């Protein structure tokens, strides 16, 4: 394998990325758009780009991803894609009858400089958008940011296109969940429902990308936030945005447009981040925390107490998206583990600042890199190995090469199933993460133990 030629001698690289720890903006925009009920995402660019975005999401979620494309040809690449997009909008509403088309751009259309807002306005003026239907857009050039950036841009534009404010404040709050699994969005709704809180959660891919198999194909599954719900978000009491990179831009836009105050939190992964989430729900709404949630927290603490000796001091390397890595790293520190190497492919100095806040006292020698790549992570591991690697499917090559226990976490996971059905957030998700961590550590202990110490009991 080529990875075995990776050297531990690190050289400064400014114009070369090797094995990127990210993918491109349109994938994130497409995933966000799927979180709107009866929405058809539309890729304004070449057919090949759309196929790649759809296939990546399909392989991760194991669901058929529906999306359309402007299908650029050589002529579109030279003269612009306005004619293609106008024809696409007309055909999509005629053939597929969505409630909304969510257009995202690609490298090609961004390089040409297509003015998507102007094209949508022309489609409206020409009568190509039926009464009661909507077309929104987000600019998502692949040569800037990552899939995280594309997700954030599309969610922000949901606010810009749909949110409205009136004199009537509703007894509800907005939750912008960030890029998490459909099961995580479902878990957030379960927690708020248990507390008796009415929410508008957007986007919401639960019951869209984890829909049940009924034997009958449903082009638009029952899940997703509805347009009327998005329109009421401007009258909510407050917004809770989860993740600075994916959700904060939309929360700020909603505050500026409709004067809805926001609370920016980490995605509730692990004990402390979930505590902050539940406490903020209580503070904002005054809702009491029911016994079922308190009991879940107690069970999580009990597992940590019982198994802490197996977690303590274990060196961990992580790769993934910043909004997930920040609370996950905090959780590992809570367990007494040592996150020594952390890499995200998404650019943003705020990531390294947050990691420094978490790790300075607990793991002062930790190495952290924003806009990094898997090659750098591998080089760090070659210099001094770790006990555990956590990351998406592409981490399996490093884990195999270095003989390290590996936990799949984040996006994309292409070689396993179940991740879209089982939450990582909340206390229930934390218990699942604890089990995965413990199993990986103890499986390695069993595989390395001598015959005389191969025991049934830990």
State both tokens at 201. Answer: 């959660």
The CA distance from 99 to 251, in Å, is 24
Spatial neighbors of 418 by CB under 8 A, at least 6 apart, are none
Nearest to 105 by CA among 74, 145, 65: 145
Grade residue 452 by pLDDT with cuts at 50, 70 and 90. Answer: confident
Q: Are 196 and 287 in contact (CB under 8 A)?
A: yes
Give residue 2's pLDDT: 56
Q: Which helix (H) or strand (E) holds 263?
A: strand 262-265
> For 399-414, what is the mean pLDDT?
97
CB-based contact 329:270 (threshold 8 Å): no
Token couple for 16: 């070369």
User: What letter does residue 339 receive in the DSSP assignment?
Assistant: E
The whole-angstrom separation of Cα 302 and Cα 296 is 10
pLDDT of the residue at 455: 83
**What residues does 265 pair with on adjacent strands?**
242
Average pLDDT, the chain: 95
Residue 430 confidence (pLDDT) above 90? yes
Q: Within 13 Å, how many C-alpha atoms sit on residue 29's CB side?
A: 31
Of all helices (H) and strands (E), which one includes residue 343?
A: strand 338-344
Long-range contacts of 402-410 (CB under 8 A, 24+ apart): 402/378, 404/317, 405/440, 405/441, 405/443, 405/444, 406/440, 407/436, 407/437, 407/440, 409/320, 409/324, 409/328, 410/319, 410/320, 410/321, 410/324
Q: Is the pLDDT at 1 greater than 60, yes or no?
A: no
- Check residue 80 and give its pLDDT: 82
Share of the chain above pLDDT 90, in %: 90
* 25-162, CATH topology level: Rossmann fold (3.40.50)
The predicted-structure confidence for 363-380, as pLDDT tens digits, reads as follows 999 999 999 999 999 999
Which residues does 60 contact at the CB level (< 8 Å), separation at least 6? 411, 412, 413, 414, 419, 420
Distance of CA 326 to the CA centre of its chain: 13
Q: Between helices 147-162 and 248-258, what is the axis angle to 10°?
A: 20
Tell which CATH classification among 3.40.50.1980, 3.40.718.10, 3.40.50.10470, 3.40.50.850 matches the domain 173-290. Answer: 3.40.50.1980
- Within the chain, all domains assigned CATH 3.40.50.1980 are found at 25-162, 173-290, 292-452
Q: Quote the CA–CA distance of 48 and 70 in Å, as a whole number.
A: 11
Alpha carbon dihedral 166, 171, 174, 180, in 10-degree steps, equals -150
CATH number for the domain whose boundaries are 292-452: 3.40.50.1980
pLDDT at 73: 86
pLDDT digit string (tens) for 18-65?
999 999 999 999 999 999 999 999 999 999 999 999 999 999 999 999
Q: What gap in Å lies between CA 298 and CA 289, rounded to an integer?
A: 13
Contact indicator for 398, 381 with CB cutoff of 8 Å: yes
Instruction: Write the DSSP assignment of 115-167 as a string of letters.
Output: -HHHHHHHHHHTT-S-TT-EEEEE---TTSS-HHHHHHHHHHHHHHHH----S
Residue located via tokens 């929360």 = 251
Q: Which helix (H) or strand (E) holds 125?
A: helix 116-125
Q: What is the pTM of this model?
A: 0.96
């Amino acid at each position: 394998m080529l990875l075995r030629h990776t050297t531990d001698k690190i050289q400064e690289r400014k114009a070369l990325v090797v094995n990127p720890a990210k993918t491109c903006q349109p994938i994130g925009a497409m995933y966000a758009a799927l979180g709107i009920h009866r929405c058809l995402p539309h890729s304004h660019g070449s057919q090949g780009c759309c196929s790649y975005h759809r296939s990546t999401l399909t392989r991760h979620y194991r669901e058929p991803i529906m999306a359309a494309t402007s299908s650029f040809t050589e002529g579109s690449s030279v003269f612009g894609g306005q004619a293609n997009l106008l024809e696409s909008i007309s055909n999509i509403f005629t053939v597929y009858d969505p409630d909304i088309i969510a257009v995202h751009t690609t490298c090609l259309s961004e390089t040409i400089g297509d003015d998507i807002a102007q094209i949508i306005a022309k489609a409206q003026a020409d009568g190509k958008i039926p009464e009661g239907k909507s077309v929104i857009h987000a600019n998502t050039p692949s040569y800037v940011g990552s899939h995280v950036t594309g997700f954030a841009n599309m969610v922000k534009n949901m606010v810009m296109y749909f949110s409205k404010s009136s004199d009537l404040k509703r007894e509800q709050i907005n939750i912008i969940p960030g890029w998490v699994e459909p099961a995580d969005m479902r878990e957030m709704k379960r927690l708020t429902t248990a507390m008796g809180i009415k929410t508008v959660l957007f986007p919401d891919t639960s019951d869209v990308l984890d829909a049940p198999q009924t034997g009958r194909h449903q082009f638009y599954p029952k899940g997703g936030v509805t347009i009327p719900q998005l329109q009421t978000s401007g009258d909510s009491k407050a917004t809770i945005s989860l993740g600075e990179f994916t959700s904060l831009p939309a929360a700020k836009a909603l505050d500026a447009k409709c004067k809805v105050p926001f609370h920016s939190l980490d995605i509730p992964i692990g004990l402390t981040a979930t505590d902050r989430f539940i406490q903020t729900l209580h503070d904002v709404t005054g809702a009491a925390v029911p016994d079922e949630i308190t009991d879940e927290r107690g069970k999580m603490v009990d597992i940590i107490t019982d198994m802490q000796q197996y977690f303590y001091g274990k060196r961990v390397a992580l790769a993934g998206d910043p909004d997930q890595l920040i609370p996950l790293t905090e959780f590992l520190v809570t367990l007494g583990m040592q996150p020594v190497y952390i890499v995200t492919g998404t650019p943003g100095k705020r990531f390294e600042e947050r990691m420094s806040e978490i790790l300075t006292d607990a793991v002062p020698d930790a190495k952290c890199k924003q806009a990094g790549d898997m090659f750098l992570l591998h080089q760090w591991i070659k210099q001094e190995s770790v006990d555990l690697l956590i990351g998406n499917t592409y981490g399996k090559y490093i884990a195999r090469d270095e003989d390290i226990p590996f936990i799949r976490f984040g996006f994309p996971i292409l070689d396993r199933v179940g991740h879209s059905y089982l939450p990582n957030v909340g206390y229930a998700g934390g218990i699942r993460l604890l089990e995965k961590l413990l199993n990986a550590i103890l499986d390695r202990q069993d595989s390395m133990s001598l015959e005389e110490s191969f025991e049934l009991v830990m």
